Structure 1
Amino acid sequence: MNNHYDAEEPKPISSKFRINFFFFVSFVIFSVIIIRLAYMQFVEGPELSRLQSESVTRTSPLLPVRGSIYDSSGKIKLAYSEPIQSLYITLYKNYSQQEGGPKNPNREEAGQFAEKLYEVFQEFKDPGSKEFSVDDILNAMDLEYRQTQGYSPRLIKSDLSDREVAYFLQNRNIIPGLSVVEESKRKYDKDGVAVQAIGYMKTFKTSKTLAKYKEIDRLNPTQTNPGLVYSELENVGVDGLELQYQDVLRGQSGFKEIPINALNLPEEGGNMLPPEKGYDIISTINKNVQVQTEQAIKEQLNWLQRTPVSGKLHTNAKTAFAVAMEVDSGNVVAMASMPDYDPNAEWDYEKIKYIYRNGTVESFPPNDTGKHPESTVLLGSTIKPLSVLIGLNEGFFAPNSTYQDRGYAEFGKDRTRVRNSSGSVYGLLNPETAITKSSNAFMIDMIGEQLWNKYNVEGIKVWDRYMKEFGLGVDTGVDLPKEFRGRIEYNQENQSALTGLAFASFGQQGKYTTMQLAQYTVMLANKGQRLEPHLVKEIRDSEGNVVKKIKPKTLNTANYDDRYWRTIQRGMSTNVDAAFSGFPYDFARKTGTSQQTIYINGQSINVENGVFIAFAPRKNPKLAVAVVVPEGGYGSSSAAPIAREIFDAYDREYGLGSNPAK
């Protein structure tokens, strides 16, 4: 009998099992993920953070290339940037030494670097160049990070000699991190043209007392545009056009992206964006007219100190200031503050502290005694054309009115007496001849005292309004920094309003700058249009394209009867034949001799400051000139000869007649 058993068929897997298996597998996978995340966070986290910090980049600025300042021709550079080669070092190790801490083993290596650089400088330096010691080099390396961030390249030496450049380019690896970088050095016209007007430069680090750079320093940490970030060692304008047009001339910084590791030290690599060159500015200063102006002042001061005038030498006539301004445009063709200094020489504050500022727009003494007149002096008789204009406009007299000059005027209860210069008695005068003869008596009796009679104490405010209308006591608007508004003395509390008005009427109660005097002279020439003076006429990009033209700007207009203008212009005919002998044009002029008392060794001494204004030709005037010579004596003998040279120089360049003299 055969036993036969049928095989049993397998049973299908139940759906319940499948579901459990799926959840089990999912649990295992999620558990692995969670464990891995926990491991990354708590075990690998610090290492990942370190790696992340190693990939951070920092931006190091590359100094911009500054634009040039040209004279009015657009061809002669008065200030420009000359390429130079500088040596930098980037520190790839930490060489700092904490006080009281363990010795840094890298410190010895830094000393070896410095000694090696010292040997190279000694071997390849140019004769007469600045000496560099090992300590100087170590200080420049800034091992303690006092001057800059750890990743920033350190400037070791600027203006390398050709031999030094060749050596370092051929031996790049003698010291890790060395690089030769092309930068620029600011240079100025070798003839020293309009030195104070052009200005000078210092490092950004040492210029932060100026309001402009205080603000830039405040914004630097948050500046989002790397091109506007200032480097501590970057040179910036601190006076003159260099400061006034800093943003235009500067351009934009370039920058280098530097990979930084966890120790805040640089790594190799990184991207670089080159700097952008700044715009050029075309000034209104004509070099030939300016040089002749400066030379005329030097010669005249020398002459005054050596030649007796009216029986005496003027040994304290050591400074002089002049401004020449075009009547129809406001262009300042010449601006001289003398003596000046060599802008290409190394800065020596003690040597130039009384001459580095611009005396045509600022006020400062010639020395530290405080006993001699400042660059801003009383106007003297140059105010008299305006005084007469005020009298005519107020109706105190008419153009054909007459006045009997007795040689003096008296005013006030105590009958204060003021005489004409040298006690001169001029007899019968009219408003025109009162200007020509420069009668103090006429000004007091017919203007100063009449203002008092009409307005009483309010007369001071009336006078002040007229002065400011003609730019005396307010900003001229000139495109230069640090402009001084003048020193008003007719409103002093220790004198009566009548006294203030009487002395103001003949120029003894207001001290104003030469620039204010020039703007006022332009108004006398163009019959009341107060033009804004400017020293820049165009701004151009690096390709020579005109970015901006500076157009004439009228600040205000003094509207008076044309008869009054003709009266004062005819009256501006003071005798200056000695200075203007042979001058081929009819011209309007007024001399001034402002008097003030100074005290030397306990003694009071009266000094006379020479002042002179003029415009030419009298009809269709083109140029107005103002000259001030503190302690120079009579304006006709001290200031007028300088003005003559300026007019002649302008005539040679542009022509005072219908056609240029050239």
Structure 2
Amino acid sequence: MGNDKKKKTHLPFRLNILFIFVFALFSLLILQLGVVQILNGEEAQKEIDKTENTNSKLSVPRGIMYDRYGRIVLDNEPVRSITYTPPKSGDTASERLDLAIKLSEMIVMEDDLEVLQDKITERDKKEYWYIEDSKNAEDAKERLTTEEIEELDNGEQYNEMLNRITEEDYNEYDWDNKDLLNLVMIKKELDQAYELSPHVIKNDNVTEKEYAVVAEHLYELPGIDASIDWNRTTTFGSTFQNFIGRISSSNEGIPGDNSNYYLANGYSRNDRVGLSGLEQQYESELRGLKEEVQYTIDKSGAVVGMETVVDGQSGNDLVLTIDMELQQQVDKIVQEELEAAIKRDPYKNRFLQDALVAMIDPQTGEILALSGSRYNREEGTYSDESFRVVYDAHAPGSAVKGATLLAGYDSGVVNIGTTINDAPIKIADDEPKSSWTDLGPTNDRRALEQSSNVYMFKLAIEMAGATYRYGEPLYNFNWDSFRTMRNYFNQFGLGGETGVDLPFESTGVVGQNSQAGNLLDIAIGQYDTYTTLQLAQYVSTIANDGYRVRPHLVNEIRKSEPEKTKQGPVIKSFNTDVLNKVSMDDKYIERVQHGFIDVYSKGTASTYWGSKASEYKMAGKTGTAENDIYENGEFKEATENLTLVGYAPYDEPEVAFAVVVPRNGKETGSPHHNIGKRIMDAYYNLKEDRAKNGVNQDLNEDEKEEQEEE
């Protein structure tokens, strides 16, 4: 009994110790909580509420383009757009799939089943199989060996897993199901987005209903936005489209080969940029100032707010030198005359496919029209391929003889009035070389009028310091004469850059074979090749008293205006840019000008032009270059490059042109003259109409309205 009583007295004591210990622990815990709440509570709450501000730039409408008379050529069309902006912390493939599932119930990417199926690749199907079911992902990873998992990084492992997914695997899904294909298309677009950079999911044919439904459910679509985007639209259809150029699509973004340049200049990876033509050349002006938005992001990476910190500014507008009405007429003329030439003799003209034209103001360098038509024999159709005016080079024939004669004057081998007997020449064992007929004693001016080859041959021989005897080689030939002759030609823009404001232009092809006879061929335009634009600059230089001016397609850069019919203030004007003055005495240039007048009034062009030559006060030069066609080393057909250069009026030139019709069948008509006459008719008819209109067409729309009111 005594022992039991002793045990009972010890038990409460031990419990008391335990209770005191527990009480002490709770007291310490409460104290710590108090310290946190009272002393550090505000700081802790700040950490919980901590957010991060990140800026992003949104696209604005690009600048538009007007022709020289204020007509809109290129415009922006607002379109409804569905975009996705990933969070800064990134998102997972499964999160994007969940988002795609929700979005697929609201928008249709493509209604045509076959089109959808064409757009979904095998990789897309494999990725969907992999991500749609976690068991599939586990299965795919089990197909990798231990060594592969250890040696390959995550990206390499993923690609290898995809490689081992079979057709049998992903075909467990019904790929004829439009709903499934639509879902995968949306997921594909979401995967291409970059963090905090709006990526267009759909902006083609977003219906009003789709736009409204998405906008209404943005709260459950993280990163998705319903906004207004812009598409380029042309007012004159395909006219001049080759030189307007194109911009990348929202899916293309900035070109990868120049991505560092664009990113360094404030672009986002999915920004649309100019890829060709004037869109590319004037990208920095047309792009505008992007709207800058500040996103507020919480710790989880979700966007919880946004604020515009920099208002966007539409891109600057371009006023072109092109007369779109003239351009349309020239395009029509070129195609019609090409078609007529082919029909005139389908057999001999079976290699004829192009006709090219460049029209320019010789005094200012303003390009008025650039046109090119090509015939597709397989399809029997004609297409606008005016870019060939700048990028294709052809042997021009006698059209360049003005430059040859001026080279002879300046080098001292001929002078004004120098007479040479035009009779066939023969060098060693080569075939005799002659003019179109034996002209007999011929002076320099008549050599242009009647297009004497022999005059130019003998001039070139003299420039080379060579001794000529019929049937023998050229003795003491100076091989530097090739460089000398080409240097003279370069002064006119032949064989060099014209300086046109485009991203790229061809400079022609310089022959590499330095046989003596080839110098003679250069002198008559039968060896080196030049573009149609180079020929237009060449004849413009002669028309402009030896001053070579830079051809250009843009006259002004103007600030954009909300009302498009009113052009904004001028930011920059492109005045006449003289590239060089040819190194010849003015009296020699004047002599060639007179020879060019003779060509149209009584020479090789007079038969074709008749009274038009005097009516328009024409001057210029014709050209024919042999262009035999070979296929696999076998001769097929003897053809000719037909060329014509001209300007008018010869006493105060305001328009110059070059026409090139390559590979025309021999003796099958004169399409180059037909084109030349008709484009000059079009030019002067439009000029007369505008004069009758009583409105100065060089004014902008506001000024025209004021003048009309007066």
TM class, shorter-length: 0.7 to 0.9
Q: CA deviation at 1:97?
A: 5.4
Cα separation, 1, equivalents of 2:444 and 2:311: 67
8 Å CA contact 2:557–2:573 kept in 1: the answer is: yes
Is it true that 1:359 corresponds to 2:391 in the alignment? no
Cα separation, 2, equivalents of 1:119 and 1:450: 73
8 Å CA contact 1:615–1:622 kept in 2: the answer is: yes
8 Å CA contact 1:239–1:481 kept in 2: the answer is: yes
- CA distance change for structure 1 residues 486 and 601 in 2, over 3 Å: closer, same or farther? closer
- CA distance change for structure 1 residues 654 and 51 in 2, over 3 Å: closer, same or farther? farther
Per-residue CA distance 1:575-611 (angstroms, 9 max, x = gap): 3346434422221121111223332254124321111
8 Å CA contact 1:196–1:337 kept in 2: the answer is: no
**In structure 1, what is the equivalent of residue 19 of structure 2?**
none
Per-residue CA distance 1:185-226 (angstroms, 9 max, x = gap): 011133322221211121477475587554113x1xxxxxxx
**In structure 1, what is the equivalent of residue 644 of structure 2?**
612
**In structure 2, what is the equivalent of residue 179 of structure 1?**
225
Range moving further from structure 2, 276-285 or 594-603: 594-603
8 Å CA contact 2:101–2:183 kept in 1: the answer is: no
Q: CA deviation at 1:621?
A: 1.5
Range moving further from structure 2, 266-275 or 312-321: 266-275
Say which SS state the counterpart of residue 356 (structure 2) adopts.
strand
Is it true that 1:71 corresponds to 2:95 in the alignment? no
Q: CA deviation at 1:307?
A: 0.4
Matches within 5 A, 1:421-440: 421=436, 424-440=437-453
**In structure 2, what is the equivalent of residue 641 of structure 1?**
674
Cα separation, 2, equivalents of 1:633 and 1:46: 89
**In structure 1, what is the equivalent of residue 413 of structure 2?**
396
Cα separation, 2, equivalents of 1:657 and 1:410: 55
**In structure 1, what is the equivalent of residue 209 of structure 2?**
164
**In structure 1, what is the equivalent of residue 82 of structure 2?**
87
Cα separation, 2, equivalents of 1:654 and 1:186: 31
Cα separation, 2, equivalents of 1:89 and 1:637: 59
8 Å CA contact 1:652–1:660 kept in 2: the answer is: no
Q: CA deviation at 1:470?
A: 1.3
Per-residue CA distance 1:170-189 (angstroms, 9 max, x = gap): 73458534532111101113
**Structure 2: which 5+ runs fail to align?**
1-31, 113-118, 121-176, 467-475, 562-567, 696-710
What's the Cα RMSD here?
4.0
8 Å CA contact 1:655–1:661 kept in 2: the answer is: no
Is it true that 1:59 corresponds to 2:55 in the alignment? yes
Q: CA deviation at 1:314?
A: 1.5
**In structure 2, what is the equivalent of residue 593 of structure 1?**
624
8 Å CA contact 1:319–1:339 kept in 2: the answer is: yes
**In structure 2, what is the equivalent of residue 279 of structure 1?**
316
Of 400, 403, 425, the match for 1:386: 403
Is it true that 1:334 corresponds to 2:323 in the alignment? no
Q: CA deviation at 1:110?
A: 3.1
Of 458, 482, 488, the match for 1:445: 458
Say which SS state the counterpart of residue 460 (structure 2) adopts.
helix
Of 432, 435, 441, the match for 1:420: 435
**In structure 1, what is the equivalent of residue 510 of structure 2?**
488
8 Å CA contact 1:86–1:181 kept in 2: the answer is: yes
Is it true that 1:629 corresponds to 2:661 in the alignment? yes
**In structure 1, what is the equivalent of residue 12 of structure 2?**
none
- CA distance change for structure 1 residues 97 and 420 in 2, over 3 Å: closer, same or farther? same
Is it true that 1:190 corresponds to 2:236 in the alignment? yes
- CA distance change for structure 1 residues 661 and 376 in 2, over 3 Å: closer, same or farther? farther
**In structure 1, what is the equivalent of residue 103 of structure 2?**
114
**In structure 1, what is the equivalent of residue 425 of structure 2?**
409
Say which SS state the counterpart of residue 231 (structure 2) adopts.
strand
Higher helix share: 2
- Residue identity matched to 1:640: H
Per-residue CA distance 1:345-403 (angstroms, 9 max, x = gap): xxxxx999x976721221xxxxxxxxxxxx31012101111111222222223322222
Cα separation, 2, equivalents of 1:355 and 1:145: 37
Cα separation, 1, equivalents of 2:257 and 2:398: 38
Q: CA deviation at 1:241?
A: 0.9
Of 220, 245, 265, the match for 1:199: 245
Per-residue CA distance 1:450-470 (angstroms, 9 max, x = gap): 434397122122112101111
8 Å CA contact 1:650–1:656 kept in 2: the answer is: no
- CA distance change for structure 1 residues 111 and 394 in 2, over 3 Å: closer, same or farther? closer
**Structure 1: which 5+ runs fail to align?**
1-34, 99-103, 124-129, 220-227, 342-349, 363-374
Cα separation, 1, equivalents of 2:66 and 2:592: 38
Range moving further from structure 2, 146-155 or 229-238: 146-155
Per-residue CA distance 1:108-156 (angstroms, 9 max, x = gap): 7435413412479879xxxxxx999545654565589742345554432
Q: Report how many residues are paired.
A: 572
Q: CA deviation at 1:292?
A: 1.1
Q: Under a length normalisation based on structure 1, what TM-score does the superposition of the two structures give?
A: 0.77
- CA distance change for structure 1 residues 45 and 639 in 2, over 3 Å: closer, same or farther? farther
- Residue identity matched to 1:447: A
8 Å CA contact 1:622–1:656 kept in 2: the answer is: no
8 Å CA contact 1:472–1:520 kept in 2: the answer is: yes
- Residue identity matched to 1:495: S
Q: CA deviation at 1:265?
A: 3.1
**In structure 1, what is the equivalent of residue 325 of structure 2?**
288
Cα separation, 2, equivalents of 1:351 and 1:63: 42
Cα separation, 2, equivalents of 1:381 and 1:660: 40
**In structure 1, what is the equivalent of residue 604 of structure 2?**
575
Cα separation, 2, equivalents of 1:595 and 1:661: 48
- CA distance change for structure 1 residues 96 and 448 in 2, over 3 Å: closer, same or farther? same
Cα separation, 1, equivalents of 2:273 and 2:645: 36
- CA distance change for structure 1 residues 56 and 134 in 2, over 3 Å: closer, same or farther? farther
- Residue identity matched to 2:212: Y
Q: CA deviation at 1:502?
A: 1.3
Say which SS state the counterpart of residue 619 (structure 1) adopts.
coil
Say which SS state the counterpart of residue 538 (structure 2) adopts.
helix
- CA distance change for structure 1 residues 251 and 404 in 2, over 3 Å: closer, same or farther? same
Is it true that 1:551 corresponds to 2:582 in the alignment? no
**In structure 2, what is the equivalent of residue 19 of structure 1?**
none
8 Å CA contact 1:322–1:336 kept in 2: the answer is: yes
Q: CA deviation at 1:46?
A: 12
Q: CA deviation at 1:528?
A: 0.6
Cα separation, 2, equivalents of 1:495 and 1:267: 73
- Residue identity matched to 1:585: Y
- CA distance change for structure 1 residues 388 and 95 in 2, over 3 Å: closer, same or farther? closer
Cα separation, 1, equivalents of 2:198 and 2:414: 75
- Residue identity matched to 2:434: R
- CA distance change for structure 1 residues 67 and 594 in 2, over 3 Å: closer, same or farther? same
- CA distance change for structure 1 residues 382 and 297 in 2, over 3 Å: closer, same or farther? same
- CA distance change for structure 1 residues 336 and 142 in 2, over 3 Å: closer, same or farther? same
Cα separation, 2, equivalents of 1:48 and 1:73: 65
Cα separation, 2, equivalents of 1:297 and 1:261: 63
Is it true that 1:463 corresponds to 2:500 in the alignment? no
Q: CA deviation at 1:624?
A: 0.8
- CA distance change for structure 1 residues 339 and 212 in 2, over 3 Å: closer, same or farther? farther
- CA distance change for structure 1 residues 587 and 214 in 2, over 3 Å: closer, same or farther? farther
- CA distance change for structure 1 residues 86 and 247 in 2, over 3 Å: closer, same or farther? same
Say which SS state the counterpart of residue 114 (structure 1) adopts.
helix
8 Å CA contact 1:142–1:154 kept in 2: the answer is: no
Q: CA deviation at 1:233?
A: 3.0
Identity of aligned residues (%): 26
- CA distance change for structure 1 residues 153 and 530 in 2, over 3 Å: closer, same or farther? closer
